[in-house]
Amino acid sequence: MTLDARLDLLLDAAPHWERFTGSYSHELLETTFRDQAAAPTARLPETIVHIVSGNTPHAACQTLLNGILLGARNRLKLPADALHDFEVPPPLAPFVESSRTLPDHWIPEADAVVVFGSDETIRHFQQLCPLETPFVGHGHRVGIAVIDDPSPEAARLAARDIGLFNQQGCLSLQTLFLKNPRAFGPLLAEAMADYEQENPRGPLTASEAGAITNLRRETQYLAAQDPEKQTLWQSLGSTAWTIIHHHDPGLTLSPGNRTVFLRPLLSDFKSRISNLRFLSGIALHPYRENADLPSPRLFPLGQAQSPPALWPHDGLLPLAPLLTHQLAQG
């Protein structure tokens, strides 16, 4: 199938898909392909295996968009116990074969392999993949925010980035950095309560709820010892949302499900985060394009879960890592 025919099919599928892939146009699709996959030396993959996690449908849709744009046959390994309502838009169904188990022949026959999951999952599949096969792994990542204007509007935007998808995605905000984080707590608590009322989080497993409850109890104990160093705001009668102010400017992984840390923004912030290999992006409020911060993605607060289509996930171009090149030298 020609590139133009594939572009037409992707545009036909856009109404079904763009909430997960981001908006795309004929120009964006064609330009991306021409820039990354149209070199005379390029050898496009005929078959791509995509192994996706069950957090959100975004990864599956975005990686399939890349594969279909390249004209590949796409073999999609879905998680056994998640994404049960995932559907490939009808115009694109002929390009995708889905399975909840991994057939033995998929990886040996693949011309490229893309894996989303934990670091352990990525290492496992990397060992199964032949060395000459292009392999792209997207491991566990977290998002953070730098808020210089701690206004009610900032709290509303932050609540959306924390609450949407219940921090299950690699772009979800887990820590907010402010010059006076404790003062921002009441504003964010009100915004989180409003967000919960409009968008209820839903039930948790016993393990998920227990992790939040244990963290709350630990924080309450530490706050009783020194209220200036720890502060807790929480939903009443449930684990729907949790906000923890901590005096330490470091980074701690959240148990998720709308649990967020407020930490002080110090002058050495840039150096502190320079070696965080699991950082997916930094939200800024107010946003500034020339921010000199070490992150694969910088974006306005409130848009953590809305990357543009064909974006460089984890700093990698969407198409180029899936190709091989052949140099014919005469």
pLDDT, residue 111, reads 98
Burial class (CB in 10 A: 0-12, 13-18, 19+), 322: buried
Burial class (CB in 10 A: 0-12, 13-18, 19+), 80: exposed
Spell out the domains of the chain, with CATH numbers in brackets. 3-140 (3.40.605.10), 142-300 (3.40.309.10)
Beta bridge partners of 283: 145, 299
Residue 238 in tokens: 């449930």
pLDDT, residue 279, reads 92
To which residue do tokens 């990525």 refer? Answer: 122
pLDDT, residue 100, reads 95
pLDDT tens digit string along 193-211? 999 999 999 999 999 999 9
Burial class (CB in 10 A: 0-12, 13-18, 19+), 286: exposed
What distance in Å separates the CA atoms of residue 15 and residue 30, rounded to the nearest whole number? 18
Radius of gyration of the chain (CA): 21
What's the residue count for the chain?
330
* pLDDT tens-digit profile, the chain (330 residues): 899 999 999 999 999 999 999 999 999 999 999 999 999 999 999 999 999 988 889 999 999 999 999 999 999 999 988 888 899 999 999 999 999 999 999 999 999 999 999 899 999 999 999 999 999 999 988 999 999 999 999 999 999 999 999 998 889 999 999 999 999 999 999 999 999 999 999 999 999 999 999 999 999 999 999 988 999 999 999 999 999 999 999 888 899 999 999 999 999 999 989 888 789 999 999 999 878 899 999 999 999 989 999 999 999 999 999 999 998 877
Percent composition of the chain: helix, strand, coil (DSSP 3-state, to 5): 40, 20, 40
What distance in Å separates the CA atoms of residue 114 and residue 135, rounded to the nearest whole number? 6
Cβ atoms within 10 A of the Cβ of 35, count? 12
- C-beta of residue 262 within 8 angstroms of C-beta of residue 185: yes
pLDDT, residue 56, reads 84
Contacts of 64 (CB under 8 A, 6+ apart): 50, 74, 76, 88, 92, 95, 96
3-state secondary structure 180-234: CHHHHHHHHHHHHHHHHHHCCCCCCCHHHHHHHHHHHHHHHHHHHHCCCCEEEEE
pLDDT, residue 285, reads 98
Indicate the SS3 state at residue 250. Answer: coil
pLDDT, residue 61, reads 95
pLDDT, residue 276, reads 81
Cβ atoms within 10 A of the Cβ of 4, count? 10
Contacts of 48 (CB under 8 A, 6+ apart): 67, 70, 72, 73, 74, 75, 110, 111, 112, 113, 114, 322
Cα–Cα–Cα angle for 312, 317, 322, nearest 5°? 135
Q: Which of 250, 220, 248 lies closest to 234 in space, CA to CA? A: 220
